[in-house]
Amino acid sequence: MAGSDGRRSGTVRPELKELVGDLGIVPARAEAGAARAVLERDGAVIVPGSGDDPEELVVTAARLLGARLRELFGIRAQHGVDAPRLGIHSDGANVVVDVHGQQVRLRHPDEDYLLMLCTQPAREGGDSVLLDGYALVEALRTARPELHAFLTGCDVDYFGSWVNPARGVPATPLVRRMVEHTRGGRRAVRASDYAAPVPREPRWDEHLAFLEEYADVLATAQDCAAAFRMDAGDLLVLDNYRFLHGRDAYRGERKLHVLTVRTVDAF
Instruction: Report yes or no: 235 and 115 within 8 Å, Cβ to Cβ.
Output: yes
| pTM of the complete model | 0.95
Out of 3.40.50.1950, 3.40.190.10, 3.50.50.60, 3.60.130.10, the CATH code matching 14-261 is 3.60.130.10
Cβ contacts of 114 within 8 Å, gap of 6 or more: 91, 236, 237, 238, 240, 245, 258, 259, 260
- Tell me how far apart the alpha carbons of residues 116 and 27 are, in angstroms, rounded to a whole number: 13
- Tell me how far apart the alpha carbons of residues 64 and 72 are, in angstroms, rounded to a whole number: 14
Which among 175, 177, 179, 112 is positioned nearest to 139, based on CA atoms?
179
- Tell me how far apart the alpha carbons of residues 114 and 121 are, in angstroms, rounded to a whole number: 18
Q: What is the pLDDT along the chain (267 residues), one digit of tens a residue?
A: 777 788 999 999 999 999 999 999 999 999 999 999 999 999 999 999 999 999 999 999 999 999 999 999 999 999 999 999 999 999 999 999 999 999 999 999 999 999 999 999 999 999 999 999 999 999 999 999 999 999 999 999 999 999 999 899 999 999 999 999 999 999 999 999 999 999 999 999 999 999 999 999 999 999 999 999 999 999 999 999 999 999 999 999 999 999 999 999 999
Mind listing the pLDDT tens digit for each residue in 119-136?
A: 999 999 999 999 999 999
Which among 45, 245, 64 is positioned nearest to 56, based on CA atoms?
64
Mind listing the pLDDT tens digit for each residue in 154-171?
A: 999 999 999 999 899 999
For the chain, what's the residue count? 267
Q: End-to-end alpha-carbon separation of the chain, Å?
A: 30
* Domain range list for the chain: 14-261
Tell me if residue 118 falls in helix, strand or coil: strand
